[in-house]
Copies of this chain bind each other. A is one copy, B any other.
Amino acid sequence: MKFAATLALAAAAFALASPASAQSFQKPEDAIKYRQGAFRVLGAHFGALGAMAQGKAPYDAQAAAHHADVIALVSHLPFTAFAAGTEKGENTHAKPEIWTEQAKFKENAEKMQDAVAKLAAAAKTGSVDNLKAAFGPAGQTCKACHDSYREKL
């Protein structure tokens, strides 16, 4: 499981490095498409992991660790793309509260990043029970942010 452990270190490093590495975009729609793309990747791996955690797909420890590590890494990407000026356009579902409650939005993002880091650690133990235990709390952090900051889809 060296692969998984290495990625977990990388995810931790991402968290430390992200302030210096903020993404910038030429046009608002570039930022919107970027964050939607990153969330799309996040959601796909989260869905695949959730299927295993919920017994809807066969448990595969290596695949679970991979999904969780991708989630942990990508969890740090989309939040660089909510700059001022990117509130509208390009079919965004972002609510205005993201920009009027920036501290709270950031706190929600960090809760999710912490929860998915724990999920990645749980996934790489190779125990489906650990995966199940960490999946629910991680999913709750996704839902909390969607409920507050994303229009109903």
- Residues of chain A at the chain B interface (Cβ within 8 Å): 2-3, 6-7, 9-10, 13-14, 16-17, 20-21, 23-25, 30, 33-34, 36-41, 44-45, 48, 60, 62-63, 66-67, 69-70, 73-74, 77
Assuming the contacts A37-B38, A37-B41, A77-B70, asked whether A6 and B3 have C-beta atoms less than 8 A apart, the reply is: no
Residue contact A21 to B66, C-beta cutoff 8 Å:
yes
Residue contact A23 to B37, C-beta cutoff 8 Å:
no
| A36: chain B residues within 8 A (beta carbon) | 37, 40
In the complex, what's the smallest C-beta–C-beta distance from A10 to chain B, in angstroms? 4
Secondary structure at the A interface, as helix, strand, loop or mixed, is helix
Residue contact A10 to B6, C-beta cutoff 8 Å:
yes
Residue contact A21 to B73, C-beta cutoff 8 Å:
no
In the complex, what's the smallest C-beta–C-beta distance from A123 to chain B, in angstroms? 12
| A66: chain B residues within 8 A (beta carbon) | 17, 20-21
In the complex, what's the smallest C-beta–C-beta distance from A14 to chain B, in angstroms? 8
| A23: chain B residues within 8 A (beta carbon) | 44-45, 48
In this complex, what residue of B is CB-closest to A34? Answer: B44
Give A66 to B24 CA distance when docked, in angstroms: 13
